[in-house]
Structure 1
Amino acid sequence: MILPYDGPSYFIIIAVLFLPIIIGLLRGKRYLIYQNLVTVLFLFLTFGGKSWHQGVSIIVYIIWQWALVYGYFHYRQKKNATNIFVGAVILAIIPLAIVKIAPLASGHNSIIGFLGVSYLTFKSVQMVMEIRDGLIKEFHPMMFLQFLLFFPTISSGPIDRYRRFEKDFNQPAYGEAYIPLLSKAIWMIMLGSVYKFIIAHYIGTFAVPYTEGLALGTKGFSVSLLLYMYSYSMYLFFDFAGYSLFAVGTSYLLGIETPVNFNKPFISPNLKEFWNRWHMSLSFWFRDYVFMRLVFTLMKKKVFKSRITVSNIGYLALFLLMGIWHGLTWYYIVYGLFHGVAMCINDAWLRYKKKHKNLPSNWATNALAIFITFNTVCFSFLIFSGILDKMFR
């Protein structure tokens, strides 16, 4: 078993196995049979070997999700009952729920768990919801498998959309049109190497453990804890942004323009914009398939009279769910609630600014906004890190 993008050997394998695919795209052809064989090999390397149960788990999981989506699509062609739709969503989520709940219930990880189960579940739920909305008019069983098992993004995203993926897969950039994509891919992989293997490596190896040791020694709020907060936040960004660059760059090599995941999030002047720049594919997934649907349902059923109240309830539910998704521990849940409350405050401030257009707006106020947003986010990552659990245990 090898972890995706975990070291030079993984990229050597990519360079060797991707060469025929790259040559084919430059010549105007997609060698689909060969590419599928490469996919199977990478899946075996990722889920086989020592963790044989992961291989079994993913096979059973794929059969489950494929049958579910296939069955719901054919049902949706004739009927559109809400209870069947809700049931299909629940059935798609059940494997992930078992994986998340099992450690809390039994003290052991679930035997059905495997690397990337969350991101595959997001894809399956997305399919059910878009079939329900009538956005997916045709269901191609093999294309759904290609989408679900697209190995560059299988472990941690970015989360692509089925219709966008299908378009790229069926109409890839060929010949001269592929060259700019190839250049971007190489650049992203190089930049990702700097992020993950140099910056994140040294911060994670030296700064984070050192500042954590100092912080735990003080047993309270201190400069050491502040330094840990910043070092951990930088590690989190460069490690995950580096991984995402690898995933997107590798996708580009295959002619698939997977959406980017990070866009300079630490220059955001408010929290809403931060979530439009940080782990964007996950943020947009939760926005489109959780927040918007919840808000629409609450407004349609007139549960609350105020749109502001509906929006605030939506934010709290959304970020609480995101916190629970990370894990059923108090600090993940508090992390989610913290962001939910912060988003409500952020929205109130934006509404206030909209009403009071005479408020000062210049480089100094923008710099202050960025500073406040940056420190708010870093404090949330301090909660997320779990160090407070160690300090006050």
Structure 2
Amino acid sequence: MNFNFINLQPYGNPHYFIYLMIGLIPIILGLYHGHRFKIYECIFSVVFLFLVFDADKWQQGVSLIIYLLIELVITYCYLYYRKKGKNKTWVFYLAVFLSIVPLIMVKVQTAFPKAKIPGVLAFLGISYITFKTVQVIMEIRDGAIKEVNLGTYLRFLLFFPTFSSGPIDRYRRFAKECDIAPKRDQYVNDLGLATRYLFQGFLYKFVLGWFFGTYWLPRISRMALIAGTANGGLKLSWWLLAYMYCYSMYLFFDFAGYSLFAVSISYFMGIHTPMNFNKPFLSQNIKEFWNRWHMTLSFWFRDYIYMRFTFFAMKKKLFKNPVRLSQVAYLLLFLVMGFWHGLTWYYIVYGLFHAIAIIINDYWIRYKKKHKDKLPSNKFTKCLSIFVTFNVVCFSFLIFSGFLSQLWFGWM
């Protein structure tokens, strides 16, 4: 059967939800009556995963299967190794490195398409499934995970509502819910939340996201490029400012809409996938912003890169000054995040920008603590903090958008 007449990219088209809700009916009825049809859920997830691969890109499905086999072998080999009571650091590093090699190859191939790297396992969702695998390997090493059920692990990795763009769940949290049906009262409440998140997602992605991203952004972009080509300095500045704010709103509503859809469908399936956004533009500083923006990714990077590097550096006594240690950890964290987005200068600069912003913010927080009696703290200063943070974030999104590159090449 040919499904190409409709865009079946996850949450990319309102028609997608018609098929999705039809497929969810048996799951909803089962959970309402206290039964979880695990086999049907697995079939349902696999079908929707493979439907998003275009007919002429069937190799994505093959790549997914090969990738899963590789990750399963790595995970279970390391689990077997740990069960023997062994805990060599180099074995752990090797397991983590091998698990992220396919993702690294995909990123390099994307950045340098002419390189034609053989054996690249490229498919939609490879980043998020890699994050889940690395998380499990790291928690096996810590002893937090002592057993990995094959069926539960596969369902965790292939949980289709969050497969393409998150949120990133944790294995231990997911495992507690995936085999049992919630109580009816709890599930009825979940259905109410799922419906609310679904309609909020429609508002965000298909109304506000469309307005900022499809209707308004191309017009602003065109006017900014015209002003840039004509060397209209002040006029370009205003159009560039408009682009910065418009793109930031588009990025938020589009991504938050996707995340709300993922959480909504998860709730319909009786799984409490964590929320990904919490009013990020009301943050009073850049650190608070990262505790509100793409939270599951932020917390993943915090727990598995920042904290682990910090503990490693403290154990090896690499830094005498804890402030310097945190600064280096921030630089590492956001550089990795920048490279993860892509091997392009503006993604890397975006990461460095946020690292520097957080380092400056830490200096400011320490300064405030020393001079708290001299510095005012009221509604005005709170609003000013929100305003400054919002503009810092929006400027970082302007870098992230790559639009500055377009302007530069327009001038050349």
- Which moved further from structure 2: 305-314 or 206-215? 206-215
Contact 1:262–1:277 (CA<8 Å) still a contact in 2?
yes
Post-superposition offset of 1:215: 1.6
1:227 alignment partner AA: A
Q: Give 1:326's match in structure 2, choosing from 323, 327, 341.
A: 341
In 1, distance between residues paired with 2:58 and 2:304?
33
Supply the AA of the counterpart residue of 1:248. Answer: V
**Equivalent residue number for residue 96 of structure 2:** 89
Deviation (angstroms), 1:109: 7.3
Separation in 1, partners of 2:209, 2:54 = 28
1:195 equivalenced with 2:204 (yes/no): yes
Question: Structure 1, unaligned stretches of length 5 or more?
Answer: none
1:9 aligns with 2:15: yes
Question: Per-residue displacement from partner, 1:249-304 (whole Å, max 9, x unpaired)?
Answer: 00000000000000000000000000000000000000000000111111111111
Match of 1:312 among 306, 309, 327: 327
Aligned match of 2:298: 283
Task: Tell me how large the CA RMSD over aligned residues is.
Answer: 1.3
Residue 368 of structure 1: how far off its partner (Å): 0.3
Query: What pairs with 1:356-375 in structure 2 (closer than 5 Å)?
Result: 356-358=371-373, 359-375=375-391
1:9 is displaced (CA, Å) by 1.8
Residue equivalent to 2:255: 240
Tell me the residue number matched to 1:150.
159
Q: 2:43 aligned with 1:37, yes or no?
A: yes
Q: Give the whole-Å Cα distance in 2 for the aligned partners of 1:81 and 1:335.
A: 35
Q: What is the match of residue 386 of structure 1? A: 402
Checking the alignment, whether the CA contact within 8 Å between 2:31 and 2:187 is kept in structure 1 is yes
Instruction: Please state how far the C-alpha of 1:352 moved relative to its aligned partner.
Output: 1.4
Superposed, which structure 2 residues align to 1:129-208 within 5 Å? Answer: 129-208=138-217
Contact 1:5 1:246 in 2 (8 A): yes
8 A Cα contact 1:29 1:174, kept in partner: no
Alignment-derived partner of residue 56 in structure 2:
50
Letter in 1 for 2:13: G
**TM-score when scaled to structure 1?**
0.98
Aligned partners of 2:75 and 2:137 also within 8 Å: yes
Report the Cα distance in structure 2 between the residues aligned to 1:224 and 1:74, rounded to whole angstroms: 58
Out of 64-73 and 347-356, give the one that drifted further.
Answer: 347-356
Structure 2 SS opposite 1:344 = helix
**Is the CA contact 1:99–1:109 (under 8 Å) kept in the aligned structure 2?**
no
How many angstroms apart in 1 are the aligned matches of 2:181 and 2:273? 12
For 2:297 and 2:399, the matched residues in 1 are separated by 20
TM-score of the two chains, using structure 2 as the length reference: 0.93
Q: Which amino acid aligns with 2:83?
A: Q
Q: How much does 1:33 deviate?
A: 1.5
Which secondary structure state, in structure 2, belongs to the residue aligned with residue 107 of structure 1? helix
Which residue number in structure 2 is paired with residue 19 of structure 1?
A: 25
Contact 1:172 1:256 in 2 (8 A): no
User: How much does 1:139 deviate?
Assistant: 1.5
* 8 Å CA contact 1:153, 1:247 repeated in 2: yes
Deviations 1:189-219 (A, max 9, x none): 0000000001101111121111111222222
Q: Is the 8 A contact 1:319 1:340 kept in 2?
A: yes
Q: Which amino acid aligns with 1:197?
A: F
The more displaced of 167-176 and 368-377 is 167-176
The residue type equivalent to 2:32 in the other structure is L
CA distance in 2, matches of 1:63, 1:330: 33
Deviations 1:145-192 (A, max 9, x none): 010000000001000000000011133413222100011001000000
Letter in 2 for 1:206: Y
CA positional deviation for 1:326: 0.6
Match of 1:253 in 2: 268
Contact 2:111 2:342 in 1 (8 A): no
Whole-angstrom CA distance in 2 between matches of 1:4 and 1:59: 19
* Code of the aligned partner of 1:95: P
> Equivalents in 2 of 1:116, 1:354: separation in Å?
43
Taking the aligned partners of 2:158 and 2:287, their CA distance within structure 1 comes to 31
What per-residue deviation string (whole Å, max 9, x for no partner) do you get for residues 111-137 of structure 1? 421111000000000010000000002
2:356 paired residue number? 341
C-alpha separation between the residues in 1 aligned to 2:148 and 2:183? 25
Q: In the alignment, residue 96 of structure 2 is paired with which amino acid?
A: V
Separation in structure 2 between the aligned mates of residue 39 and residue 382 of structure 1, nearest angstrom: 36
Measure, in 1, the Cα distance between the counterparts of 2:46 and 2:404.
42
Matched with 1:120 is 129
| Residue of 376, 392, 396 corresponding to 1:376 | 392
Partners of 2:181 and 2:29 in 1: how far apart?
14
Q: State the percentage of identical aligned residues.
A: 55
Question: Could you tell me how far apart the structure 2 residues matched to 1:247 and 1:237 are?
Answer: 15
Q: Which moved more, 1:37-46 or 1:82-91?
A: 37-46
